[in-house]
């Protein structure tokens, strides 16, 4: 048998909610998508939405959406300051 938690972990169904894990992935997404970063910095509409897709793809859909969106917004705000 095993517990439901063990099953979820073994099946790879655990959501990533840890900022220490997500922030480096977000930074990698920025590095891998320089055009989208430039679009975002220039104020292109909906450019920020593209990063949500990139992040979910990078985490194979395992990023906790609420945590990921909050962290993404914080990191995008830092980008705008540069």
What domains, with CATH codes, occur in the chain?
Answer: 16-81 (1.10.10.410)
pLDDT tens, residue by residue, 47-72: 888 999 999 999 999 999 999 999 99
The whole-chain average pLDDT of the chain stands at 89
Block residue for tokens 């320089």: 34
Q: How far apart are CA 25 and CA 9, in angstroms?
A: 20
- Say whether pLDDT at 82 is over 90: no
Q: How confident is the model at residue 13 (pLDDT cuts 50, 70, 90)?
A: low
Token pair for 77: 């705000």
The pLDDT of 14-33, averaged and rounded, is 94
- Percent of the chain scoring above 70 in pLDDT: 91
Q: Identify the band that residue 12 occupies on the pLDDT scale cut at 50, 70 and 90.
A: low
User: Within 13 Å of residue 81, how many CA atoms lie on the same side as its CB?
Assistant: 6
Of 51, 56, 54, 42, which is closest to residue 74 (Cα–Cα)? 51
Distance (Å, rounded) from C-alpha 64 to C-alpha 21? 11
């Amino acid at each position: 048998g095993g517990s439901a938690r063990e099953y979820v972990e073994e099946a790879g169904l655990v959501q990533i909610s840890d900022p220490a894990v997500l922030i480096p992935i977000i930074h990698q997404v920025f590095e891998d998508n320089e055009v989208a970063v430039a679009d975002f910095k220039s104020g292109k509409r909906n450019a920020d939405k593209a990063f949500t897709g990139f992040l979910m793809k990078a985490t194979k859909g395992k990023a906790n959406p609420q945590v990921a969106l909050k962290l993404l917004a914080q990191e995008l705000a830092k980008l705008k300051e540069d």
